[in-house]
Amino acid sequence: MKHLPFDALMELESGVIDEASQVINRRLSDMPSFFHDQDAVQAQLEEDPVLYRTYVKQNPISSSLWNIGSSVIEPGTVGNEYFMTKGHFHLKEEAPEVYFTVSGSGRLLLQKHSGEIEVKKMAPGVINYIPGGWAHRTVNVGEKPLIFFAVWPADAGHNYGAIEEMGFSRLVVNDRGVPKIIDNPRYAPGLVK
């Protein structure tokens, strides 16, 4: 199948990509076990806020093609933990990903199966490179939506289950208005490879 060039318009103020082939809306009820404070989760489930939206313009699955997308993480917290994405490894673990932050303020958590972790800042104009083999999660630590653009190989796939089972070893929490990185007491290393 011959693949043709395309273009897409990303609205910089909203993060929406026109003609996205996939739009994902994640609410708190879609990921309650991802947050540490389960009492806070239960208290907010009735309201069931939208935590983030992702817009994807997907190519046919191929190692020579790339998908493009954008994510918009809303501001807010569950307990003292900031709104975040589920986070994932790629099914094809050697697949990299690149983020370009358009607006807002965030943190990018990167973690290997071994537990090695890196935390990178996300701010307008910052480009984050995510090498293969690193799980990645984005966290909005600001008062406005965090909007970023992403590109990744079309055959990378997503493994959310590994993160749901073991979690990330660090949490990003609001400590009197300042983002703070703390140990995750629920982190369960070695559960999944």
Nearest to 104 by CA among 10, 12, 9: 12
Q: Is the pLDDT of residue 154 over 50?
A: yes
Q: Is the pLDDT of residue 191 over 80?
A: no
Q: In this predicted structure, what is the pLDDT of residue 193?
A: 42
Q: In this predicted structure, what is the pLDDT of residue 32?
A: 96
pLDDT band at 42 (very low <50, low <70, confident <90, very high): very high
For 29-47, give one letter per residue: b (16+ CB within 10 A) or e.
eebeebbbbeebbeebeee
As a whole number of angstroms, the distance between CA 104 and CA 83 comes to: 13
Question: Per this entry, what is the length of the chain?
Answer: 193
Mean pLDDT computed over 174-188 = 93
Q: Is the pLDDT of residue 35 over 90?
A: yes
The CA-atom distances, in angstroms, between 132 and each of 56, 156, 169 are 20, 10, 19
Mean pLDDT computed over 137-149 = 98
Q: Which residue, chain included where needed, has tokens 């900031």? A: 82
Considering the entire predicted model, what is its pTM? 0.93
pLDDT digits (tens, 9 = 90+) for 68-85: 999 999 999 999 999 999
- Percentage of the chain beyond pLDDT 70 is 96
Contact (CB, 8 A) for 88 and 48: no
Q: In this predicted structure, what is the pLDDT of residue 192?
A: 43
pLDDT band at 190 (very low <50, low <70, confident <90, very high): low
Q: 99 or 59: whose pLDDT is higher?
A: 99
pLDDT band at 11 (very low <50, low <70, confident <90, very high): very high
pLDDT digits (tens, 9 = 90+) for 89-136: 999 999 999 999 999 999 999 999 888 999 999 999 999 999 999 999
Task: Report, at the CATH architecture level, how domain 22-183 is classified.
Answer: Sandwich (2.60)
